[in-house]
Chain A
Amino acid sequence: MKHKSFFWFVLPSSIAMLLFIFFPILSVLLQSVFTEHEQVIKEVRNCGPFGCQTTTSIDQEATAALREAEPLGRFVGLGVYFDRGHLALSEVAQLWRESAGLGAFFDRLLNLPFYKAIAFTLTYTFVVTPLTIVLGFVIAVAVNSAARAIRGPLIFVSLLPFIITPLVGSLVLFWMLDARGIIGSAMQVLADDPDLSVKASTPLMWTMLMVYGVWHSAPFAFIVYYAGLQTVNQDTLEAAMVDGASRWERIRYVVIPHLLPITTFIALIQLMDNFRVFEPIVSFSAQAHATSLSWAIYNDLSGETRQLSSAAATSFLTIIGVAILLSPVIVRTYRDFTRK
């Protein structure tokens, strides 16, 4: 394809991505090193019959003028990144000096908002991803062994948790988990504890968020594995059997090697998607027990006072996290491409 026609064909798409993905990244970076101007304080001397008094008040006009003149705010460099809401360097250093042991240190570290968010995000990502893969694989094997006539309906039902809007799917689950809902009351009976409630217990809340995560994404792994199982070479399987391979050996040496590249694909997609975990925390109103990086950004942006530079700093730290997670994908795609 000629350079010129390539240019015209990709132009609309490039403009959209340039304006609404690339520039916003720069804007996020820029905002994260600025913060809003402090209010201008003026001193007023009031002289009355009983002597003079100095009072301080906010100079609204001067504040507005300053904000108008420099809309980005004042430059603080990495200040926002290091403040209490983000990396909290001084607080961490203080905790390190004061805490008796490592356990106590981590306990108190998780009270800092950013570390609390990153702890849950990483736990969620690295617990949900492998469980999703295992569950998806088992469903695929089970569906594959079912009679052909019922596979269609089985796939239909299995797709439901994945296609459903995440906010809605997690709400549906949360209502059942409510202390007055069906699963919630069942858990109370099973644990023999009438006060058991997901809303009140941090470990239970974490578990349930991860249960939701696996429930939501297992169908994706299932569908991909199921398609992979259809393409296993039947001749190789039969040949292995003729050569006397047992059932396990056939799975180990024929099926699993065939599914390995598919597994890397699922794992990478799942890592990317689980890292942005957000909606279930809103649905479960879990913020007291678990927050995530995406939730922290949302929280900064949705309040009455939008904390743009704080949200921008969290956003940029999240992008760095994604970049670290993504590096294997890029390497792999690059190798695939150069092999062609």
Chain B
Amino acid sequence: MASKAFRKPLPLQALLIFFLVVWVVMAAFPFLWTVWGSFKVEGDFFSKADWANAIFGTRTRAETGDLFTGQGYYGAWVQEEFWRAALNTLIVCAATVMISLTFGTLGAYALSRSTYRYAFWFLIIALIFRAMPPITLVSGYLPVFFDWNLWGHLPTAIIVLVAINQPFTLWMLHSFFNNIPKDLDESAMVDGCTRFQAFRHVIVPVMWPGVITTALFSFLLAYNDFAITALVLSKENQTMVPKIASFLGTTQTKGNVMFAVAAVVSVTAPLFVMIMFFQRQIVSGLTAGAVKG
């Protein structure tokens, strides 16, 4: 840092700082704006008269007598039963993360320890699967799900999300397991462990940093998914994201777009907390594939 080689001329430094300020505003302002606006009435959030109404809440004060109103949240969570969707999301995400990590750690461990050529082809096929947009598979699922009466239930969505998660999970955990020295489990096997015992007693205790990072990304994939959950789940079993999309269709005409705004803020909040606690893991996960080449 102190080295002269890295000191920048003043105009360049000023330009970078200016740019940084612009970017921070671009990245954060939409969220602050929406959170603030979600406590207002629609007349303020979408103000025909004066955009500043959204900040000062002129109509909100006129209509409710207060500067902030929880109407949007009440409407979404109680009236439109968004809590049901939140519960479904919780179930789907928890199950998806747990199952895909169980499958993923077993598979990725084997892939990282096998020296045969088929392990490589296995990974290549997983890469191809990873590249395919998940929505292209849905028309393959639907007729079978309809015939066997599987359509619409949470477990169906969970197992589909687990499968779609697998290629990514395998790749990510594979690179983590590659960083755990082979000597560890091989010496355990020399001492008489079977392959599975070596995995269970030697590898499992040291794999958690990698697993937690992968878990975060599996969670994001399940939490952020719209294509699968919208097409595979029935209306009663909807998760949060498709539920928001359905708000757009029905409530916009009723003039209750504020329900959607409140729901959007509710969906964002957990992600916000997640970044706050796991920032380091997210960053290391994003760079795991790239920096190694």
Nearest A residue (CB) for B263: A168
Interface check A12, CB cutoff 8 A: yes
State whether the Cβ of B276 lies closer than 8 Å to any Cβ in chain A. yes
- Interface stretch, picked from B61-69, B79-87, B115-123, is B115-123
Stretch at the interface among A38-46, A57-65, A325-333: A325-333
Contact at A334–B124, with CB atoms within 8 Å? yes
A227 contacts which of B45, B129, B279, B291 (Cβ < 8 Å)? Answer: B291
For A, the interface residue count at a CB cutoff of 8 angstroms equals 109
A27 to B138, CA, bound (A): 10
The answer to whether A16 and B166 have CB atoms under 8 Å apart is yes
Given the contacts A168-B244, A175-B45, A262-B290, A219 and B124 also touching, CB distance less than 8 Å: no
Question: A322: which B residues are within 8 A, CB to CB?
Answer: 131-133
Is B20 at the interface (CB under 8 A from chain A)?
A: yes
Query: Which of A101-109, A110-118, A177-185 sits within the interface?
Result: A177-185
When distances are taken between beta carbons in the complex, the residues of chain B under 8 Å from A155 are 279, 283
Q: Verify if B227 is at the interface (C-beta below 8 Å from A).
A: yes
Question: B28 and A13: CB pair below 8 A?
Answer: no
The segment out of A48-56, A122-130, A158-166, A196-204 that lies at the interface is A158-166
Say which residue of B5, B245, B289 sits within 8 Å of A237 (CB atoms).
Answer: B5
Of B33, B129, B195, the contact of A21 (CB 8 Å cutoff):
B129
Q: Is the CB of A175 within 8 A of B261?
A: yes
Residues 239-293 of B at the A interface (beta carbon under 8 Å): 241, 244-245, 248, 260-261, 264, 267-268, 271-272, 274-276, 279, 282-283, 286-287, 289-291, 293
Asked whether any CB of chain B lies closer than 8 Å to the CB of A139, the reply is yes
Contact with B along A286-321 (1 / 0, CB 8 A): 000000011001101110001010011001101100
Residues of A within 8 A of B137 (CB): 20-21, 24-25, 28, 315
B267 / chain A contacts, CB cutoff of 8 Å: 165, 168
Number of interface residues of B (CB under 8 A): 103
- Tell me whether A95 is interfacial, beta carbon within 8 Å: no
Tell me whether B77 is interfacial, beta carbon within 8 Å: no
Bound form: Cα–Cα A321–B185 in Å: 42
**A-B contacts, 5 listed (Cβ < 8 Å):** A71-B143, A165-B267, A186-B51, A234-B3, A308-B139
The 6 closest A-B pairs by CB, nearest first: A24-B140, A20-B163, A9-B110, A13-B107, A276-B133, A27-B140
Residues of B within 8 A of A (CB): 1, 3, 5-6, 8, 13, 16-17, 19-20, 23-24, 26-28, 30-31, 33-34, 37, 45-48, 51, 54, 102-104, 106-107, 109-111, 113-116, 119-120, 122-124, 126-133, 135-144, 147, 159-160, 162-164, 166-167, 170, 195-196, 199, 220, 223-224, 226-227, 230-231, 241, 244-245, 248, 260-261, 264, 267-268, 271-272, 274-276, 279, 282-283, 286-287, 289-291, 293
Given contacts A20-B160, A176-B33, 7 further A-B contacts (CB under 8 A): A14-B107, A21-B167, A160-B28, A161-B27, A180-B48, A250-B5, A315-B139
